[in-house]
Homo-oligomer: A and B are copies of this chain.
Amino acid sequence: MSRVVTFGELLLRLSPPSHLRLTQARSFDLYYGCAEANVAASLSKFGLSVKFITAVPPNELGESSLSMLRSFGVEPISFIQGKRLGIYYFEQGASERPGKVVYDREDSSFSTLKKGMINWEDAFKDSDWFHWSGITPSLTLELAEICEEALTVASRMGLTISADLNYRPTLWKYGKNANEIMPNLVKHCDLLLGGIDDSEKVLGIKVNEKDTQEEIFSNWMNAFPKLKNIVTTKRMDANASSNGISASFWNGKELLHSQKYNISHIIDRIGAGDAFMAGIIYGMIAWPDDNQTALEFAAAATCLKHSISGDINLATVNEIKALMGGSGGGRVSR
Contact = CB atoms under 8 A, between A and B. Distances in A.
Interface of A: 14, 17-30, 59-61, 63-64, 67-68, 70-73, 83-84, 87, 89, 91, 93-104, 106-107, 168, 170, 235, 238-243, 261, 263-267, 269-270, 303-304, 306-310, 314-315, 319, 323, 327-334
Nearest to A15: B27
16 contacts: A14-B28, A19-B307, A22-B60, A23-B63, A23-B67, A24-B314, A27-B29, A61-B102, A93-B307, A93-B330, A94-B307, A97-B319, A98-B327, A98-B333, A242-B330, A243-B330
A163 B236 CA distance: 41
Given A19-B307, A22-B61, A238-B330, 8 more contacts: A27-B29, A83-B104, A95-B303, A97-B304, A101-B332, A106-B107, A239-B330, A241-B264
A334 B170 contact: yes
Copy tally for this chain in the complex stands at: 6
A19 to B, nearest CB: 5
Contact of A314 (B21, B28, B84): B21
A265 B238 contact: no
A91 B238 contact: no
A328 B103 contact: no
A91 B168 CA distance: 34
A269 B94 CA distance: 13
Contacts of A68: 71
Interface residue SS majority, chain A: loop
A100 B61 CA distance: 13
A94 B308 CA distance: 8
Contact of A67 (B72, B97, B327, B331): B72
A327 B309 CA distance: 24
B265 A101 contact: no
A30 B24 contact: no
A238 to B, nearest CB: 4
A18 B19 contact: no
A71 B67 contact: yes
A308 B21 contact: yes
Contacts of A309: 18-21, 24
B23 A314 contact: yes
Nearest to A240: B330
Contacts of A331: 98, 238
B329 A239 contact: yes
Contacts of A314: 21, 23-24
Contact of A101 (B95, B267, B334): B334
Contact of A235 (B22, B319, B330): B330
Most buried by B among A68, A97, A309: A97
A25 B30 CA distance: 7
Contacts of A170: 334
A64 B290 CA distance: 33
B264 A95 contact: yes
A95 B266 contact: yes
Given A24-B314, A67-B72, A309-B18, A98 B328 contact: yes
Given A23-B63, A94-B267, A330 B241 contact: yes
